[in-house]
Amino acid sequence: MPYRAAGLLMALGGLVAVVGLILIGVDVHAAKQRGPRWKRRLLGAGLAVLGIWGAWFSASRPGSPFKPDVMCCYAPIPMEVGCAGNLRERLPLLEKLIAEAKLDPGVARTALAAAEMDLGRISMHPCSGPGMSAEEMTAIRDLARPIVERLRARLGEPVSLEEAPEWKALTGQWDDAAAALAVEPGAPAFDSQTQQRLADALERLLHADLPRLLGAGLLSEPEARLLELDLVRLSGAVRRARVSDRETTPTVASSGLPVPPAGESARDIGLRAESLKKILASGVAHPAALRRILASVRKDLEVLDRPASYDLMGATERAKAEQIRDAVKAEVEKLKNLLGPAPEDKRD
């Protein structure tokens, strides 16, 4: 524990003890007359030592040159990771360095990709911390967007979703995983090595490629959220799939009861409803992304259209699921208008 925190805890403990003694009505004047003198002196000396320690530790501050709990030569630097809180400064600095040709063009592209990824990540998963309120994040995004656009143009990066290598990777690996999972119920989908490979690839899509597409402005935020939901579901299916070279983990009591198919689909569609509404309200969509999103939504709607899917559901739950289904169906019909003409080599 850091010395300062230990000191503060000690001081707090002492304060609580004094307040406690007052509250329970201890007569301090009478107490100091009772018991053997050596015991009272020992207690007094102990309290004095603790007091001095507490004061000394509390007085030490971060950055003090001789504070052994801070760091020592070649110890790892203390740092917070993942918040990307300095993005508002990072992108203008990157633009300046690229303009001054300080960076190799290849390095500049990778550095921009990393900045876009972090920008996408904080948009999808806001992190708490100083300067990261919702308003601040909006301000960062507003500042970043034109810089990202200028840098992508300058560095010759793809400006459409379909051309972006991350999108190609996303759709390709998504389709690979879906194809691998398409086996007869109960049959092993793949071996454990393939399972690991697919799981790793999906992790990368979720945490790097998808946020980057959002940060680059090639996907909108609701589109990224919808694709994320699909990828999370796919990733879970890959991890849970039966593999050919390992025993399946037996179901245990804590696994809970099986969820009715309609319940699962209603939940997943419910999670999508708000983002679908946002796309509809904006009136703008990236057709390639929307096509994929709607294909996935349709699969859930098909489940919800089958009466047998509701077998394990109560009447109230069923009514709610059907209500969600009907609302989303209506949205899907309207969203079709944003798709434009279907591409010739449509894969989904």
Kindly state the smallest distance separating residue 89's Cβ from another protein, in Å: 5
347/298 Cα distance (integer angstroms)? 15
Minimum CB distance to another protein smaller for 17 or for 93? 93
Q: Which two tokens stand for residue 224?
A: 């990224």
Is 232 one of the binding residues for another protein (CB under 8 A)? no
* Candidate list 47, 107, 139, 339; residue touching another protein; CB under 8 A: 107
Task: Enumerate residues 6+ apart whose C-beta is below 8 A from 90.
Answer: 84, 115, 118
By C-alpha distance, which of 20, 88, 8, 17 is closest to 55? 8
* Candidate list 207, 242, 278, 298; residue touching another protein; CB under 8 A: 207
SS3 296: helix
Q: What is the CA radius of gyration of the chain?
A: 30
Site size for another protein (CB under 8 A): 45
* Candidate list 6, 70, 199, 280; residue touching another protein; CB under 8 A: 70
Kindly state the smallest distance separating residue 212's Cβ from another protein, in Å: 8
Kindly state the smallest distance separating residue 140's Cβ from another protein, in Å: 13
- Lookup result for tokens 């419910």: 270
* Candidate list 1, 23, 30, 79; residue touching another protein; CB under 8 A: 79
Residue 281 Rama label (left phi>0; alpha psi -120 to 50; beta) = alpha
Kindly state the smallest distance separating residue 196's Cβ from another protein, in Å: 13
Is 248 one of the binding residues for another protein (CB under 8 A)? no
Are 152 and 177 in contact, with CB atoms under 8 Å apart? no
- Lookup result for tokens 């309200």: 281
By C-alpha distance, which of 135, 133, 140 is closest to 115? 140
Is 308 one of the binding residues for another protein (CB under 8 A)? no
Stretch that binds another protein, among 203-211, 251-259, 266-274, 336-344 (CB under 8 A): 203-211
Stretch 108-167 residues interacting with another protein (CB under 8 A): 110-111, 113-115, 117-118, 130-131
304/180 Cα distance (integer angstroms)? 24
272/328 Cα distance (integer angstroms)? 9
- Binding mask 42-61 toward another protein (x if CB under 8 A, else -) reads -------------------x
In the chain the beta strands, taken as DSSP E runs, fall at none
266/102 Cα distance (integer angstroms)? 53
* Candidate list 28, 36, 74, 135; residue touching another protein; CB under 8 A: 74
Kindly state the smallest distance separating residue 243's Cβ from another protein, in Å: 22
Is 104 one of the binding residues for another protein (CB under 8 A)? yes
Binding footprint of another protein on the chain (CB under 8 A): 61-66, 68, 70-81, 84-86, 89-90, 93-94, 96-97, 102-104, 106-107, 110-111, 113-115, 117-118, 130-131, 203, 207-208
